[in-house]
Structure formats: structure tokens, C-alpha cells
A and B are shown apart, each in its own frame.
Chain A
Amino acid sequence: MNRIKQKLQEDKKLLSIYFTAGYPKLNDTVKIIQDLEKSGVDFIEIGLPFSDPLADGPTIQESSTAALKNGMHTELLFEQLKDIRKTVSIPLILMGYFNPVLQYGVEEFCQKCQEIGIDGLILPDLPLDVYQEEYESIFKKHGLINVFLITPQTSDARIKAIDDASEGFIYMVSSASTTGAKAGFGNEQASYFERIAQMKLKNPQIVGFGISNAATFAQATENAKGAIIGSAFIKYLTQKGVEKIEEFVKGIR
């Protein structure tokens, strides 16, 4: 069984951490993943840096620009990850924009992910209909779960369609924003979280955007199965480097 599905069955709120591969230093990738697992993180999103990350705020943009400058590229990331399953057993998800995947070749990319032991992909700019028409069979053939996003503006009908197309979890974007744009949640989020909870979707939801500490993690996971922290972790890496990752994770839960 896919590691993501297995993890989702555990009776606890899940913590996922996002980081940009190749940042702060080109070869930090494996150490960050190993330390996150040791610190008790439930799954990890490894960001494949892109020159034009439309959905990201300044923190992740800057980490992507720095990672590319450091020399990160798709083939190198696969090279860094080739032995990762010898030491790491939690679910690993690659997150990036569609163009680098398209240039690598979607089939080749998925094949490589399978060889390494990647469990899922998050490609925010690969739309639902294109995925279903052109790529779903390829993803499935290689055992990859494709994770879709919903936002407070997503209509109920579309959420249902996304729920039907999903297997694993739904990435629930907490507010109308780019990553790292807002800190904390207000009434708007509370009613959105409530609305989604009442829809009784078949897939559990993991909340992302706006989660940076223990308080926001607790709030986000009141109804949802888990939460994702990205920008706050990257800021932490920028300030403290890669030696104190456990401290960050312990601060969340």
C-alpha cells in the first residue's frame, strides 16, 4: 500500500513539512529529510525549485531562486534521493511546478519517482481536467498519488469533483493567498474549515498556507487530518541553518 494512504490511517493529527531542495545549500537535501523524520514529522514535501513560482510568496520564491543558483536541477535531485529509502520510511511527496516535469518527460519523471520511492506529487499548475485526460494513467502506473488543492473560493461542486479525483488527501489552502502571505487564521478561515468539515469528503484534508507555530497547527487540525508548514520552516532554515531542525519541529507539537 502507498505510504501516504497508510500514514493517513494513523490515529493522530499529521504534521507535514515543506522545504525547497537545494536550499540553504545544494547538498542539504538528504540531511533535512533524515532530520525531519527523526524529529517526528509525518511526511515531507520536497520542493523542486522553479524560476517562476506563481503560487508562492517571497520566502519560497527566494529559496527557489537560491536553490537554482546553487545548481539544483531535476536530475540532480533524483541523484541526491536515489538511496533515500535506505534510511527514511515516512511518505515523501515531490512538489513543484509543471514545466520542469514536462521538460523531463512526464513518464520518465514518474518512472524515476517510483524507482526512488516517492509516494506522491503536488503540481499546483497541472489542472484537474488535463491530469485526468492525459496523465492520470501514467501516475497510477507508477504508484504515485496526485494531490489536488482546494481554496476558500472553490465551489462545492468543484470540491466534490476534486474529492472524486483524489486518492490520499486533499491539500486545503487555508486562505486566498500565496504561500507565507498571512500569519494565523481569522473568522473567515474558521467558517471555511467548518464548511469543508460538513461536506464529509471521502478524502481527509491536510491544511496548508498560514501555519507557522503550535497555535496555528492546532487550529488548522481541529477539523482537518493534518497541516503543512512551508514558509515558516524555510525562514527557520535561513536563520538557524540545518543543525537544529528538531528544535523547530518540537516547537510545533
Chain B
Amino acid sequence: MTYHADEKGYYGGFGGAFIPEMLYPNCEELRQNYLQIMAEPSFKAEFHQLLKDYVGRPTPLYFAKRLSEKYNTKIYLKREDLCHTGAHKVNNTIGQILMAKKLGKNRIIAETGAGQHGVATATVCALMGIDCVVYMGEIDIARQAPNVSRMKMLGAEVRPAKSGSRTLKDATNEAIRDWINNPVDTHYIIGSVVGPHPYPDMVARFQSVISEEIKAQLLEKEGRENPDYVVACVGGGSNAAGAYYHFLDNPNVGIIAVEAAGKGIHSGESAATSVLGKVGIIHGSKTLLMQTPDGQITEPYSISAGLDYPGVGPLHAHLYTSGRGEFISITDDDAMTAGLGLCQLEGIIPAIESSHALAIFEDRKFKENDIVVVNLSGRGDKDLRNYIDYFKL
């Protein structure tokens, strides 16, 4: 039994490549080459060198003493917030820009919601001197102005997605349409473990450096490679996929996925896809997604822009339906409180996405000797405005 993707990109019944024929050659080129390219020694060497010298890896695995005391268990934080550009997203964009170069592409497109993946993509394009177009929903452009400016400073062109609900899912649609219109010279850097095969598997592999490091670091600190639990927030699910990756097939490691409940799961303003979603097709992948009974994709809500995707990566849909993963939903309020709590207990300002993962300790109790690794996927600089407004600081 494995929880990794099979040859056709299926995780149990989820995944695959439900794409129009116009995208078939692009995805097929990638599918035929990605594993081979990733296995090349020169690719590996360049990838790891950049992760080390440019991104700042390995990121620390930090024993959060005061947080652990508060919840009477052993909590480690995997400090992805210390990555260059402020979140785990850059692990994937470094991998994909190198992939694009190997495939001979000279133009990059990407989608972004809050702007974190857009910034991480613009960053690696600047690094490599490759043209970059980032699609971003018109509404997100207005509410994430600092990241729009960062992308522009890095030389990327930010194109507003004006269709549909004008947020992340529509930015993704626009990026896919761009790829249909530019099938030869362009590589599409998807920011999460979503989209058609081979994207979910490829992105998970690039992010798997997170759990690879956790194993080595935990061995050093605790004399054992495997924690009792690994906890991560899930929007599309890329930081979670990376944090779980090397533990997926080890049943002794509990996997906890934390979704955004928004203003409450049944409030009509939520992004808790595992609870509210049904099996369907979104962005070329068969997975759980939020939709009307008629199959129209609906707009999710979360205070955290990184978690309000109406679907979830097919890996996570499989973890949920198979029971391998424990799924917990956290409201805006509980996430914000947990975020402020980490600031004051540990001196770390987390991204609101990561605050959702930190919020589970209020209700989900662990044993005193349990080792719980929380993937702290990003830092909170980008969220200062939200924190300030919320707490009236």
C-alpha cells in the first residue's frame, strides 16, 4: 500500500489529467521527462546547491519549549518561514525553473492568490533571467498590493484575471489559457500539489525536502527519525505534501491536515474542502472540491488568502477518504489567536496559513511524550495588515 502517485498520477481514485486536448502535448512533454530530469546528477546538484546557498536550507527544526509547556507535549516547528521569500513556496519554484531550463523553455507563467507563489516565481525568474508573467485575480491584486509591488520589482509582469470570481481559481484558469495559447516556449509553474498529472507528484517531490530534513534533524535531536505526528495547513496542500512526503507510507506517523473553516464550516464562508467538497474535476485533476449540486465550482472563503482554494490536491483527497490523514478545520478566529500566541510565546510571527496548523492544540490533545512536528510554512510579514486590523493593534 502506498500513498504516492501511481504512473498515471492517481492517488487512489483521485488525480489523473482531465485536460482539453490543447494541453495534452504540454503535460505529456512534462510527464515523459520530469522523473528522468529530476534523477539527473547535474539537476540534483544544482537544485540542492540553490536550496542551500540561495534559499537558506536546511531550515531549522526548532523545539518550541514554551509552546510545548503550554500544551504539555513536545512540539517542534519546521521553520519554512525562514526560507528566502518567506515561505516554502520557493522550494518548488527553484525546482520548476530548473526543470523549465532543461526542457528548453524561455518563458514562465504562474498563478497566484495571495502573491506568495507569484513572488517565489518572479524571484527564480529574476535569478535565471527568464521572462515571467504572473496571473492574479483582480480582487487579490487590490487586497495584496505589497506582493504585487514585489513581483514588479523582481521584473515580472502581473496580469489581472478578470473572469469569474476574479480570485485564485480564475488566475489559475487564465494561466492555463495562456499555456494553451503558448504551447511551445512556455512552462507553467503551478504553485501547489494541484492541477493535472504530473504536477501534483512533481510539486510534492520538490517540496519533499521538508520531510527529508525533518527526518535527519529529528534523528539528531531525539535519536529517532520519525515523529509521532506531523501537522500542516492545507489549501491546495503543497507545504503539507512536503512535510508528509517521507512519512506517508509509515503508519506509525500520524498525519494531521488543517483546513480553514473560515467563519465556521457551515457558515457559507469556509474553505474546509474535505467536509464541504464532493468529488469532481478542477484544473485538470479529479479531487474533492467545493461546488454547487450542478457542478459549478464555488468560491471558498478564509481570512488566509493562501488557504482559500475551492479544491485540494488529489493526494490530500486520498489521505482524507482513506482515513490515513486526520483532518481538522480551524476558524479565522482560532487561527488568529494561535498566531498571536506564537508571537508572544516564541517570538515568531507566523503566516496566517501556518497559524491554522498551530491552532489545533487547543482542542486536539497529545500525550506528554508525543513528538509533534508542525510545519511552519511561512512568516507573517505579509499578514501584518490583517493581524493589526484584527487585533486593533
Name the interface residues of A74-131: CB closer than 8 Å to any CB of B: 74-75, 97-104, 124-127, 130
- Contact present for B284 and A102 (CB under 8 Å): no
Q: A173 to B282, alpha carbons, bound, how many Å?
A: 23
Within 8 A of A (CB), among B275-327: 278-284, 291, 293-298
Interface pair A104/B177, CB less than 8 Å apart: no
With an 8 A cutoff between CB atoms, is A215 at the interface? no
Q: B177 near A68 (CB under 8 angstroms)?
A: no
How many A residues touch the partner, as a band? 35 or more
Min Cβ gap A194→B in Å is 20
**B297 pairs with A99, CB closer than 8 A:** yes
In angstroms, Cα B282 to Cα A223, docked, is: 36
Does B25 have its Cβ within 8 Å of any Cβ on chain A?
Answer: yes
Bound state CA distance, A99 and B19, in angstroms?
12
Flag whether A12 is at the interface (Cβ < 8 A). Answer: no
Do B295 and A125 touch (CB < 8 A)? Answer: no
Q: Considering the chains assembled together, what is the distance between the CA atoms of A183 and B356 in angstroms? A: 49
| B residues less than 8 Å from A127 (CB atoms) | 16-19, 24
Q: Is the Cβ of B164 less than 8 Å from the Cβ of A52?
A: yes
On whether the beta carbons of B295 and A55 are closer than 8 Å, the reply is no
For chain A, residues 50 to 85, give those with C-beta under 8 angstroms from any C-beta of chain B. 50-55, 57-58, 61-62, 65, 68, 73-75
Shortest distance from the beta carbon of A78 to any chain B beta carbon, whole Å: 12
Query: Is residue B163 contacting chain A, with contact meaning CB distance below 8 A?
Result: yes
- Shortest CB distance B273–A (Å): 15
A103 and B17: CB pair below 8 A?
no
Whether the Cβ atoms of A149 and B21 lie closer than 8 Å is yes
Residues of chain B contacted by A150 (CB below 8 angstroms): 21
Q: What is the bound-complex CA distance between A99 and B297, given in angstroms?
A: 9
- A148: nearest chain-B partner, CB-CB: B21
Cβ B281 vs Cβ A98 within 8 A? yes
Query: Which residues does chain A contribute within 8 Å of B296, judged by CB atoms?
Result: 50-51, 68, 100
- Chain A residues contacting B155 (CB-CB under 8 Å) are none
B341 CB within 8 Å of chain A:
no
**Could you tell me which residues of chain A, from 39 to 56, have a CB within 8 Å of some CB in chain B?**
50-55
Chain A residues within an 8 Å CB radius of B278: 103
The distance in angstroms between the C-alpha atoms of A74 and B20, with both chains bound, is: 21
Query: Complex formed: what's the CA distance from A101 to B15 in Å?
Result: 18
Contact of B293 among A52, A61, A103, A130 (CB under 8 A): A103
Within 8 A of A (CB), among B3-30: 16-22, 24-25
Interface size on B, residues (CB 8 A): 35
Query: Which B residues are in CB contact (< 8 Å) with A124?
Result: 20-22
Partner of A173 from the list B22, B182, B281, B284 (CB cut-off 8 Å) is B22
Mask: chain B, 126-164; 1 = CB below 8 Å from A; 0 = not: 000000000000000000000000000000000000011
Q: At the interface with chain B, which of A151-159, A197-205, A228-236? A: A151-159
Question: What is the CB-to-nearest-CB distance from B122 to chain A, in angstroms, rounded to a whole number?
Answer: 24
B22, B163, B278, B293 — which one has the most chain A CB atoms within 10 A of its CB? B22
Complex CA gap A6/B164 in Å reads 39
Across the interface, do A54 and B17 meet the contact criterion of CB distance under 8 Å?
no
A133–chain B nearest beta-carbon distance, Å: 10
**Interchain CB contact under 8 A, A177 and B291:** no
B180 interface hit (Cβ, 8 Å): yes
CB within 8 A of A176: which of B18, B19, B170, B180?
A: B180
Residues of B near A75 (CB, < 8 A) are 294
| A-chain residues with CB within 8 Å of residue B282 when the two chains form the complex | 52, 99
Q: Does A178 contact B (CB under 8 A)?
A: yes
- Out of A53, A102, A176, A181, name the residue touching B295 (CB < 8 Å): A102
Assess whether B25 is in contact with A52, with CB atoms less than 8 Å apart. no
Given contacts A124-B20, A125-B20, A176-B182, contact A103 B291 (CB under 8 A): yes
Q: A176 touching B169 by the CB < 8 A rule?
A: no
Instruction: Find chain B residues with CB under 8 A from A177 CB.
Output: 22, 180-181
Partner pick for A154 among B21, B291, B298, CB 8 A cutoff = B21
Q: How far is the CB of B299 from chain A (nearest CB, A)?
A: 9
Q: Is the CB of B281 within 8 A of A149?
A: no
Q: Which residues of B contact A100 (CB under 8 A)?
A: 294-296
Establish whether residues A99 and B181, one from each chain, have CB atoms under 8 Å apart when the complex forms: no
* Contact A153–B281 (Cβ < 8 Å): no
Given the complex, which residues of B lie within 8 Å of A50, measured CB to CB? Answer: 295-296
Interface residues of A in 127-154 (CB under 8 A from B): 127, 130, 148-151, 153-154
Q: Assess the A125–B177 pair: CB atoms within 8 A.
A: no
Task: Given A52-B164, A61-B163, A102-B295, verify A176-B21 contact (CB < 8 Å).
Answer: no
Q: Is B60's beta carbon under 8 Å from chain A?
A: no
B15 to chain A, nearest CB (A): 11
* Residue in B169, B170, B180 whose CB lies within 8 Å of A178: B180
Identity of the chain B residue whose Cβ is nearest the Cβ of A54 in the assembled complex: B176
Which residue of A has the minimal Cβ distance to B18? A125
Q: Which residues on the B side are within 8 Å of A58 (C-beta)?
A: 163
**Are A104 and B20 touching (Cβ within 8 A)?**
no
Cα–Cα, bound, A126→B281 (Å): 10
Question: Are B164 and A103 in contact, CB atoms less than 8 angstroms apart?
Answer: no
Which residues of chain B (164-190) have a CB below 8 Å from chain A? 164, 169-170, 173, 176-177, 180-184
Beyond contacts A52-B283, A176-B180, A178-B177: 4 other A-B pairs, Cβ-Cβ < 8 A, are: A55-B177, A68-B296, A99-B281, A103-B280
What are the 8 closest A-B residue pairs judged by CB atoms, nearest first? A103-B295, A100-B295, A124-B20, A149-B21, A51-B296, A153-B25, A55-B20, A73-B294
Q: Which residues on B are within 8 Å of A, measured CB to CB?
A: 16-22, 24-25, 163-164, 169-170, 173, 176-177, 180-184, 278-284, 291, 293-298
Can you name 29 A-B residue pairings with CB atoms under 8 Å?
A52-B282, A52-B297, A54-B173, A54-B180, A54-B284, A57-B177, A65-B164, A73-B294, A74-B295, A75-B294, A98-B18, A99-B291, A99-B297, A100-B294, A101-B295, A102-B279, A104-B294, A124-B21, A125-B19, A125-B281, A127-B16, A127-B24, A151-B22, A154-B24, A158-B24, A176-B180, A176-B182, A176-B183, A177-B22
